[in-house]
Structure 1
Amino acid sequence: MVDRPGAVQSNIRLGGPAPGRTDPDLPALRLANMIYGGYFSSRLVENIREGKGYTYSPRSSVDHQAAGSSFQVEADVATEVTGPALLETWYELGRMALLPVTEAELDGARRYVLGSMALSTATHAGLASTLSALVGAGLPRGGWPSTSRPSRR
């Protein structure tokens, strides 16, 4: 917590470690992140943006860097609602831990992730960028089509 007297806005940032790119729990975490705060129909957006009006664009993400992977939550709020916004942010994290997600939430998150992937790889440049990021992260090429021998089709 950094006190800045006279500031009109607070920047809420929470974070912690997350599974790496090759962890078998990563796909489940990605869906949980979407439901929590990873896209516009998330619980966090519904609560502190739509319901309470504390912020315009709260979000959460799972990021992968060379030093490790992390889960991050961000929201910029008016100073006078810092406490209530932080409380609601923690409330939604607790709700994710204690209550099962609904089928509708899970279906919405799945559709969003699949649609985003389809859009991001729809062009040669997008596909090359995605594959480059995966190879750059050290993921194995197993299962990818081989370019070293001609196809037998």
Structure 2
Amino acid sequence: MNTTILSITTPPGQPIKKNNIAFQKLDAQINFAFNSESIKPFSPLVQASYSSDSNLQISAVIFIASSEEPNFSGVNQESVISDEGETQLDFFIIYDAPEKSNQIFNAYRVDFVVENPPKDLEQIQTFLWDKDPVSSRGTKTKV
């Protein structure tokens, strides 16, 4: 029996306009006492709110191994129905960096704006997506 492993290197959804996205390295690190063998990324820490003109504003803090300089290339957006049957937007913060286990992680902030979000939007889910992924992690956030 032959087994084929498929690698998905392009995240689902459509790109958010580049002028609606800002990437910033923060002056913060997380330092763990033990070096984990896991190379799974940390789930993003996410805040979502509506602007006065009803656009959805999302700020996410993500953590990347300090030994790497990630190359951020954008954010994709996909409209889905959640497991609970509610309208949900999924976001994929796209970066490229080697997956390595580490003890020290640098913090980065990713801010982006979604123009004309669905009126019945209940929640979002935000993923950190490596272009050459071993895995990804997501965070659900009520809006």
Q: TM-score, normalised by structure 1?
A: 0.27
Q: Which protein is bigger by CA-based radius of gyration?
A: 1
Which has the larger share of strand? Answer: 2
Higher relative contact order, structure no. (Cα contacts within 8 Å, ≥ 6 residues apart):
2
Which has the larger share of helix? Answer: 1
